Structure 1
Amino acid sequence: MNLHNFLYGVYPYIALSVFLLGSWLRFDREQYTWKSDSSQLLSKANLRLASNLFHVGVIAIFFGHAVGLLTPHGLFRTLGVSDMTHQMIAIWAGSIFGSLALAGGALLWLRRMFNVRISVTSRGADKFILSWLLVTLMVGLSTIPVSIGHANAGNPGVMIALAEWVQSIVYLHPQPVLLESVDTVFKVHLFLGMTVFLVFPFTRMVHVWSAPFGYVGRPYQIVRSKRTFR
């Protein structure tokens, strides 16, 4: 098996298995670590703006990807959405919400890295996942000019290949061959995105599972670290 087939035929299942099983084990065994670890008590500067931009952008991107990639191609055509219309919607939505998420994420990253009070109380996983998400967003946005080039050439083939590959993973008959002719930047973005799911259970992102109703009945949170700082 070559690297391409492993990354796009096996790795998705490794990432999804760790995502689901790891999340379940963490909730079962470490419920008091199941929290967002908010740093609002340490500093409120730029937090509301940055958090709102980031969360609105990421949530919109997630559901946009889910609808755009998991909806069967034939259903779009039945609804009267042409391939080029589909591609232009993806380009505009990705540009707008990706930019929002990147702007908010950059503000959060600067706050996490350079606000001394927040930086010294942050876990390594906090800094890693925020940095990884920013790189994923930047690579995702860098696919936009490539997609525009495809659209200008009247070629929706890459978009269709990406959707068919995602659906092949979901339907448990992976077809990495679908991505062989896809531009490298899309492949890198896919790898970065899959890795987000792989590391998800080991980070603060697990609090996503609790939104929005789980917060109402959540247990108390320990917000004071036991570590000693000098």
Structure 2
Amino acid sequence: MAAFLNQALFGLYPYVALTVFLVGSVVRFDREQYTWRSGSSQLLRRKLLFVGSNCFHIGVLAILGGHFVGLLTPHELYLAMGLSVEAKQLMAMIVGGVFGALCFLGLTLLVYRRLADPRIRATSSRMDIAILLLLYAQLTLGLSSIFVSAHHLDGSEMLKLADWAQHIVTFQAGAADFVADVHPIFKLHIVLGMTIFLLFPFSRLVHIWSAPLGYVTRPYQLVRRRGGAAARRS
């Protein structure tokens, strides 16, 4: 039973989640373009939004970039560059910890802002709140995994996770076997990460596709009440 569950979660589920992620994003853009937005609440608690949003986005973009490079770079390549497995893991822990803390600060402010203000909560959908809490849980797991990694600085767990990721993206068999005996916190981190990919097309996260390069420096959405200018003139 354990072997079946491991294969289902780490051999099959990633492909289900990534397929829904890609196909769902295309279908939503094609059929529901008017919902292809983040859903602005700029006029409410602007200071919290400014600090929280910038801290979160800078942190999360750095974390995603680090995961992409760290997991998908072939072991032989960084060894050829003179970077040992131990040094790579230590660098990942330090850089991930710094940007993870920045992201955690920003996300905490965003969660507080959305849940503590009755006006913002009233304009938030269930998916808005759910995806924010899932991201919060995922970030907490990621930061917690740093303390687990500190107990095996030889990089053995990191190599298993990288082998799993590289086998998944290259459609090689046996990917789930690499993570069969890794620490449970890494397994939870993977499953929750895949779940976020699964829910991505059905949430406000789709707006990331609109401007992936200029995302951090983009202006906020401007929301004006219809007829406001006329009311002011009167």
TM-score (norm 1): 0.90
Question: 1:145 aligns to what SS in structure 2?
Answer: helix
Code of the residue aligned with 1:198 in structure 2: it is L
Aligned-residue offset at 1:41 = 2.1
Q: Which of 128, 131, 139 is residue 129 of structure 1 equivalent to?
A: 131
Code of the residue aligned with 2:119 in structure 1: it is R
- Within 5 A, what are the aligned runs for 1:13-92? 13-92=15-94
Which residues of structure 2 form unaligned runs of 5+?
A: 216-220, 226-234
Q: Is the 8 A contact 1:35 1:221 kept in 2?
A: no
CA distance in 2, matches of 1:156, 1:222: 49
Question: 1:67 aligns to what SS in structure 2?
Answer: helix
- Report the number of matched residues: 217
Single out whichever of 46-55 and 205-214 deviates more from structure 2: 205-214
Aligned-residue offset at 1:95 = 0.6
Code of the residue aligned with 1:166 in structure 2: it is A
In the other structure, the counterpart of 2:178 is: 178
Aligned-residue offset at 1:42 = 3.0
In the other structure, the counterpart of 1:168 is: 167
Q: Percent identity?
A: 49
In the other structure, the counterpart of 1:188 is: 188
Aligned-residue offset at 1:178 = 0.5
Measured on the aligned residues, the alpha-carbon RMSD in Å equals 1.8
Q: Is the 8 A contact 2:145 2:186 kept in 1?
A: yes
Query: Which runs of at least 4 in structure 1 moved beyond 6 Å after TM superposition?
Result: 220-224
CA distance in 1, matches of 2:40, 2:64: 22
CA distance in 2, matches of 1:184, 1:212: 32
CA distance in 2, matches of 1:132, 1:91: 22
CA distance in 1, matches of 2:94, 2:32: 41
Q: Is the 8 A contact 2:42 2:49 kept in 1?
A: yes
Which residues of structure 1 form unaligned runs of 5+?
A: 225-230
CA distance in 1, matches of 2:27, 2:8: 26
